[in-house]
Structure 1
Amino acid sequence: MTGAPVQDRDTTAYRPGYELVAERILQLIAESRLRPGDRMPTENELAARLGTSRTVVREAVKILSALGRVRAQKGRGLYVADDDGMLGASRWEGFFLPTDLDHVYMLFEFRRVQETAASRLAATRATPAELRAIETAAETCRQGHLTGEAALFDRGDDDFHLGIATASHNPFLVAAVREARRLQHQSSTIGLRGTVGGHAAEAVEEHAAIYRAIRDGDPDAAAEATAVHLDNTLQDYRREIQRRIFG
């Protein structure tokens, strides 16, 4: 990791300093090959290395702590968070950088593989209770969009995708979908401040198409509808990241 000051980066005009520092701390973890449980530099050391203030570092650490990437122990310092997740415990956790567009592409590529498979299986395995849960989640998402309540939309979106994975009756797919969505949330929180959402209206209708295909027991239609939904969501991320970076 270089010692160039954070303010030298062109993206400063579009993103607050603590977001940039959060991303740079993730780069430090990756480039230093730190593992879960490893001790990190202190806030003062990070501030000096990144050419910023301890206050900005502290705000960045709060974000990373909330996202489960860093653990602050009072009186002991900062540590790479222990994470037993399927992806979190592996090299992918240090590898993934929330605002690297190539990484976002690869994450969606991964999601496309896992979630189309989950949708196919759900179309043949979903129980009546699981179908109701998927339908309810889709409706929660719709209500969040209609009322402008982003938190409600996000909750419905999470419940919808995880509900389909659950209906696949494959715990490995459930774990994969959960972890991939967690990394996607990091992209939104750190890189985009939760601003992705231009695709929300279409997403509501895409959810409905996925649900209908699963309800009707049509694996091919379910997989196709899921692929369309994820491809369109990726385009939403692509547009917003490029807007934030290039103006």
Structure 2
Amino acid sequence: MAEPGQVPGEGDGEASRPYRPGYELVAEQLLNYIAEQNLRSGDRLPTEQGLAQILGASRNVTREAVKVLAAIGRLSVRRGAGIFVADSAGGLVDDQLSHFRPTSMEDVLMLLDYRTVIESETARRAASLATPIEVRTIRESAETSLVAAGKDDGYAFAKADAAFHDAVGAASHNVFLRSSVAGVRRLASQSDVLLFHGDAPGSLEVAARQHLAIAEAVAAGETDRASELMVEHIATTQSQFERKIRDRLFSLDDRGASGPPPRPSRNTDAGDPPLSPETTAS
């Protein structure tokens, strides 16, 4: 098992060991342990000390990892009872996604692929079915995201970004599509916390202008155009995400095995975990 601060498979030289916070690596290892043991919602985990021994980490770093995973809704820590895999809110569907690995490039790419399928169809239907009030809501949230991007205000952009995608989902007039969009974005926010610590992987202005283009296509009733623009929007997000992950994992200097915990939440989406900022430029 790699030492905290070292990516498995990398060389042994000082210059070849990119920095990753110890709690981040242990959180990743803990999620892998849950998947390997096929643990499900409500299952109890070993104590902090037991987990530290299993993962080959110190108890302090393990405690920080548990805190982070509890903050993003993957673990539940009950005083006097122990550490548990967090209960899922959506039954079978959530249970099937309970082993999503937010630091795995493979899992993130699958998530973005699924998001492309869901949101492209959501945009198509919104362009066909949106009422004048829904069109206005989509436009206003897109415009608000552009204003926030111009001010480099990540908090305001996060709110407008979430409002935009939810408004498009609402305009599809399909509660299952709208719910799927929200669920995918909640999973993506876990990667934001563990890998980016609240920083946006890409340009907020680019994302905001794509919001505006989608809003105009919806307003004009251009179904194919709205769908194509949403596909392009998510492809841009994927490109930014991949670049940021590569930078995060392989381009930073080796600065040791510890680091600050994620910044407090800036996400106001109802139902999101307390430390799950939706600041991805998406």
TM-score of the aligned structures, taking structure 2 as reference length: 0.81
Q: Give the conservation status (yes or no) of the 8 Å contact 1:196–1:237.
A: no
**% same residue:** 41
Match of 1:215 among 191, 213, 219: 219
How far apart in 1 are the matches of 2:3 and 2:205? 40
Partner of 2:50: 45
Unmatched 5+ residue regions in structure 1?
none
Note the C-alpha offset of 1:26: 1.0
Partner of 2:268: none
Return closer, same or farther for 1:87/1:193 CA change in 2, 3 Å cut-off.
farther
Note the C-alpha offset of 1:8: 4.8
Partner of 1:155: 159
Q: Give the conservation status (yes or no) of the 8 Å contact 2:144–2:160.
A: yes
How far apart in 2 are the matches of 1:130 and 1:38? 42
Note the C-alpha offset of 1:87: 7.5
Partner of 2:262: none
Partner of 1:174: 178
Match of 1:199 among 171, 186, 203: 203
Partner of 1:9: 7
Greater CA drift, 114-123 or 124-133: 124-133
Match of 1:63 among 34, 58, 68: 68
One-letter code of the match for 1:117? E
How many residues align? The count is: 244
Secondary structure of the residue aligned to 1:13 is coil
1:30 lines up with 2:35 in the alignment: yes
How far apart in 1 are the matches of 2:94 and 2:18? 34
How far apart in 1 are the matches of 2:155 and 2:106? 27
Secondary structure of the residue aligned to 2:84 is strand
1:102 lines up with 2:119 in the alignment: no
User: 1:115-154 maps to which residues of 2 (within 5 A)?
Assistant: 115-154=119-158
One-letter code of the match for 1:146? G
Note the C-alpha offset of 1:172: 0.8
Greater CA drift, 104-113 or 147-156: 147-156
How far apart in 2 are the matches of 1:86 and 1:172? 14
Secondary structure of the residue aligned to 1:79 is strand
Greater CA drift, 223-232 or 56-65: 56-65
Note the C-alpha offset of 1:225: 0.6
TM-score of the aligned structures, taking structure 1 as reference length: 0.92
Q: Give the conservation status (yes or no) of the 8 Å contact 2:152–2:204.
A: no
How far apart in 2 are the matches of 1:135 and 1:245? 37
Q: Give the conservation status (yes or no) of the 8 Å contact 2:120–2:230.
A: yes
Q: Give the conservation status (yes or no) of the 8 Å contact 1:43–1:57.
A: yes
How far apart in 1 are the matches of 2:52 and 2:154? 33
Note the C-alpha offset of 1:86: 6.7
Greater CA drift, 80-89 or 123-132: 80-89
Return closer, same or farther for 1:238/1:32 CA change in 2, 3 Å cut-off.
same
Q: Give the conservation status (yes or no) of the 8 Å contact 1:123–1:216.
A: yes
Return closer, same or farther for 1:102/1:43 CA change in 2, 3 Å cut-off.
same
Provide Cα deviations, 1:87-145, integer angstroms capped at 9, x if missing partner.
86222221x21121111111110000000000011011112222222122212222221
One-letter code of the match for 1:223? S
One-letter code of the match for 1:229? H
RMSD: 1.8
Match of 1:80 among 60, 80, 85: 85
